[in-house]
Amino acid sequence: DSGVTQTPKHLITATGQRVTLRCSPRSGDLSVYWYQQSLDQGLQFLIQYYNGEERAKGNILERFSAQQFPDLHSELNLSSLELGDSALYFCASSLLAGEVDTQYFGPGTRLTVL
Amino acid sequence: AQKITQTQPGMFVQEKEAVTLDCTYDTSDQSYGLFWYKQPSSGEMIFLIYQGSYDEQNATEGRYSLNFQKARKSANLVISASQLGDSAMYFCAMREAEYSSASKIIFGSGTRLSIRP
């Protein structure tokens, strides 16, 4: 158990809908990362938040947005869903206090868009 | 642009043998970090080992060691005395700007390791 929690574990929805994925980082970690893992694209970095602020952006679509709240949990919002958005979405956290540190991953949320 | 290459899509190894998973990387940064993660069939991503670009010694964590050859830009994972539970997908990853709080991480395409009893 990495200490990172993600809810829900599974999500099935229809095209055009909007969903919210939630992540709670390990206790004490300030940084949260979101990744998408799909069969055709592999593991793709989406976005990073550090202590409530956006710090780095990867291949995140405009239909997707994220935020990190004062209690450091994070939410990833996916809207106008398409079939191709079906994937495993991971959240990871790290301490990131200006040092090299390791990202620990949550169990993931499997999103299926029908 | 930074890039991670894992050239072995799949590998079969006999139990108790050592195995080396290849990883090469490309970056223009002087400072970066290299990671290996394991993803079993259950789907979670498990951190295995980390190597910083300025670390002079190869990283080791139990049965895992990282064979870091900076000049060749390779960071191979070595698993000694493989076990059936090592069967999984293995990902090599890199983070540029090692000491930056805004650096991105990219992953290779992975190697599926299967351990034969």
Of B19, B25, B7, B5, the C-alpha closest to B113 is B19
Count CB-CB contacts under 10 A for residue A83.
10
- Average pLDDT for B61-68: 96
**CA–CA distance, A109 with B51 (Å, rounded to integer):** 28
What tokens appear for A62 in the block? 């405009």
**CA–CA distance, B77 with B66 (Å, rounded to integer):** 5
- Dihedral angle computed from the Cα positions of residues A61, B88, B44 and B63, in that order, rounded to the nearest 10 degrees: -120
Of B33, B43, B106, Cβ closest to residue A100: B33
Q: What is the pLDDT of residues A32-89, one digit of tens each?
A: 999 999 987 788 989 989 899 998 888 899 999 999 999 999 999 999 999 999 999 9
Interface test with B, best of A4, A57, A103 (most B CBs within 10 A): A103
Q: Are strands B111-116 and B60-61 parallel, antiparallel or unpaired?
A: unpaired
From chain B, pick out residues whose CB is under 8 angstroms from the CB of A55.
Answer: 101-102
Name the strand (E) or helix (H) holding A65: strand A64-68
Examine the pLDDT at A101 and tell me if it is beyond 70.
no
Examine the pLDDT at B96 and tell me if it is beyond 80.
no
Instruction: Output the pLDDT for position A40.
Output: 79
For chain A, helix (H) and strand (E) counts, in that order, are 0, 11
- Contact flag A107-B43 (C-beta cutoff 8 Å): yes
Examine the pLDDT at B97 and tell me if it is beyond 70.
no
Instruction: Output the pLDDT for position B98.
Output: 54
Of B45, B99, B104, Cβ closest to residue A90: B45
Which of the listed ranges A24-33, A66-75, B91-100, B103-112 does the model predict with the highest average pLDDT? A66-75
Of A44, A56, A100, Cβ closest to residue B98: A100
- As beta bridge partners, residue A110 has A10, A88
Instruction: Output the pLDDT for position B105.
Output: 79
Instruction: Output the pLDDT for position A97.
Output: 45
Instruction: Output the pLDDT for position A98.
Output: 43
Q: What is the pLDDT of residues B21-59, one digit of tens each?
A: 999 999 888 888 899 999 999 888 998 999 988 888 999
Round the average pLDDT of chain B to a whole number and report it: 91
What tokens appear for A26 in the block? 């390990």
- Average pLDDT for A95-99: 57
- As beta bridge partners, residue B76 has B67
Q: Look up tokens 């929690």; give the residue.
A: A5
From chain B, pick out residues whose CB is under 8 angstroms from the CB of A1.
Answer: none
Examine the pLDDT at A26 and tell me if it is beyond 50.
yes
